[in-house]
Copies of this chain bind each other. A is one copy, B any other.
Amino acid sequence: MAAETMATKNMPLAKAINESLRRALEADPKVVVMGEDVGKLGGVFRVTDGLQKDFGESRVIDTPLAESGIVGTAIGLALRGYRPVLEIQFDGFVFPAYDQIVTQLAKMHARSLGKVKLPVVIRIPYGGGIGAVEHHSESPEALFAHVPGLKVVSPSDASDAYWMMQQAIQSDDPVIYFEPKRRYWDKAEVNTEAIPDPLHKARVVREGTDLTLVAYGPMVKLCQEAAAAAAEEGRSLEVLDLRSVSPLDFDSIQTSVEKTRRLVVVHEAPVFFGSGAEIAARITERCFYHLEAPVLRVGGYHAPYPPARLEESYLPDLDRVLDAVDRALAY
């Protein structure tokens, strides 16, 4: 473990976002935080804990219970020069706001021929694995990545969570920031004086030679575990943390696949029309002569996210990832 410098702190992912929001609120009076229960309560996951106390009710705003209203008024605030950071309480509750996101937020910069900019960040805790009730465990990122005008990112650890939030807020584009809720409590070193990677660049989190595993958000840790397990069987897996779903860093994936010649994509969202499809299609096109096996995908089934007692069977796990690895290596 690196020694903690003044700028380096060990903290959970949720706290890293909190610190990042705090820094943004301090640095720029135009940054405002909005959402349901983000104020006194500090959010149901406490990601905004203490912010209203320190920055006041006009900077950290408890909104009416209306997601379309949250995004719609944030667009207006952005037009006025503000930089709103919105919280959608859970993945399954972003849909009332979908119209404002898709028809307004995503398109207004283009509609205005570049005259207006909408630097709006939408934070969405997403994914399963926490034993929650319906609508609290979904992974809707593909539904945003397909929409031109939006950027979609998802950090996998506290350090990225901190820095990617800084970058998302600084971006002049709307950014959908998916937070891997089951990793909220995972700790990592955060260096608040580091020079971060570009927001949309993938990162090799483990080097390997036999096969590439790509993932983002909550599945990165799983892929690292899978790579560790495979290593015990003498297989060298490379793990790529995509970090960004739109744009996708195809160059980095290509570089890796040209080396390993095999690719498995892992995400929680249903496989059908999911991120894995786009990655498989494009990487197959880019690396047609390099691939020894088809790109395989591990993800959710084409079924509504199941009740909690079934989520272990629904979600990709170590066995399912390793099974896909085996199948890819068998080609």
Q: Which residues of A contact B (CB under 8 A)?
A: 92, 95-96, 98-99, 102-103, 106-107, 110-111, 134-135, 142-143, 145-146, 148-149, 246, 269-270, 272-278, 280-282, 284-285, 288, 293-297, 301-304, 331
Assembled-state Cα–Cα distance A102/B148 (Å): 20
Is A106 within 8 A of B277, CB to CB?
A: no
Q: Which residues of B sit under 8 angstroms from A98, Cβ to Cβ?
A: 95, 98-99, 102
Instruction: Enumerate chain B residues within 8 angstroms of A107, measured Cβ to Cβ.
Output: 134, 304
A-B contact list, 5 entries, CB within 8 Å:
A107-B304, A142-B146, A146-B269, A148-B301, A281-B297
Q: How far is the CA of A135 from the CA of B293 in the complex (A)?
A: 41
* A295 to B106 alpha-carbon distance, docked (Å): 29
User: Do B281 and A285 have beta carbons less than 8 Å apart?
Assistant: no
For A295, the chain B residues whose CB sits under 8 A away are 281, 284-285
Since A95-B99, A285-B296 are in contact, a sample of 17 more A-B pairs with Cβ atoms closer than 8 Å, ordered by chain A residue number, is A96-B99, A98-B98, A110-B304, A111-B304, A142-B146, A143-B146, A146-B270, A148-B270, A246-B272, A273-B273, A273-B275, A277-B281, A280-B280, A281-B284, A281-B295, A284-B294, A285-B294
The chain B residue sitting closest to A102, CB to CB, is: B95
A246: chain B residues within 8 A (beta carbon)? 272
Query: Which residues of the partner chain B approach A278 to less than 8 Å between Cβ atoms?
Result: 272-273, 277
Assembled-state Cα–Cα distance A288/B288 (Å): 10
CB distance from A99 to the nearest CB of B (A): 4
Instruction: For A95, give the chain B residue with the smallest CB separation.
Output: B99
Identify which of B148, B270, B281 contacts A281 (C-beta below 8 A). B281
Query: CA–CA, A102 to B93, complex, Å?
Result: 11
Question: Are B277 and A331 neighbours in the complex by a CB distance under 8 Å?
Answer: no
A146 contacts which chain B residues (CB < 8 A)?
142-143, 269-270, 272-274
Question: Smallest Cβ distance from A169 to chain B, in angstroms?
Answer: 23
CB-nearest residue of chain B to A274: B146
A271 → chain B closest CB, angstroms: 9
Q: Which 10 A-B pairs have the closest CB atoms?
A: A280-B281, A95-B99, A146-B273, A277-B277, A285-B294, A277-B281, A277-B278, A98-B98, A288-B294, A96-B99
With a CB–CB cut-off of 8 A, which chain B residues contact A135? 103
| Set of chain B residues within 8 Å of A270, measured between Cβ atoms | 146, 148
A246-B271 Cα distance, complex, nearest whole Å = 13
Minimum CB–CB distance from A267 to chain B (whole Å) comes to 12
